[in-house]
Amino acid sequence: MVLFVVLLVFMIIGSIIAIEARNLLSSVISVGTVGFALSIAFLLLGAPDIAITQIVVEVIALIILIRGTISLDNTAIEKHRDTFAMVSALVFFGIFLAFSYVALKDMPEFGKPLMKVSQGYLQRGLQRTGAANIVMSIVLDFRGYDTLGEATVLFTSILGAFVVLRKRGRKKKEERDRARVGIPGDL
């Protein structure tokens, strides 16, 4: 548990450094340390599936972010200290802390009362789906709709990224082909 708290503090420090760092590359790297610490935290909590996913996605995200930041010319950020924004952020953070203290005071101990639904999954998962990995039987069988929604989100986001980022659309290519054949463009 002590290691877990140390990891949490490390993650908070890493995120603060990521916000405050002047160099874009060093802030990306400190975001990466936060992600790796999060994957170790998942391992300590007994969730190897999530830990594998977290560490692998973190590596890919770091590669993409570094590839994106190095290719930019302005990697150094100019600082503008806005006192009003700072004060309002602090005020809202205080309000959030007060509310969360009231709300989280009566929370049960971490993972202590195992809920009825999850108990049912644990007891009948192997028998109902035949999958040895209980996580997969929940993700792909009992909660298949969630996974389908997740896949749809990925699908839609990559479609959107292709549409927005591809500089030359299909239409211009068609116009060029028409011009080559000899048909006027405004057909």
State in angstroms the smallest separation of the CB of 48 from other proteins.
4
**Alpha helices (H) along 72-169:** 83-104, 116-129, 134-137, 144-165
Segment interacting with other proteins, rule: CB under 8 A, options 22-30, 51-59, 84-92, 115-123: 51-59
For residues 179 and 108, what is the distance between their CA atoms, to the nearest angstrom? 71
What does the per-residue mask of binding to other proteins show for 152-181, with x meaning CB under 8 A? x-xx--x--xx--xxxx----x--------
For residues 81 and 173, what is the distance between their CA atoms, to the nearest angstrom? 47
Q: Which is nearer to other proteins, 79 or 180 (CB)?
A: 180
State in angstroms the smallest separation of the CB of 177 from other proteins.
12
For residues 56 and 104, what is the distance between their CA atoms, to the nearest angstrom? 32
Q: Which is nearer to other proteins, 94 or 185 (CB)?
A: 185
State in angstroms the smallest separation of the CB of 69 from other proteins.
11
Select from 75, 69, 71, 1 the least CA-distant residue to 32.
Answer: 69
State in angstroms the smallest separation of the CB of 50 from other proteins.
9
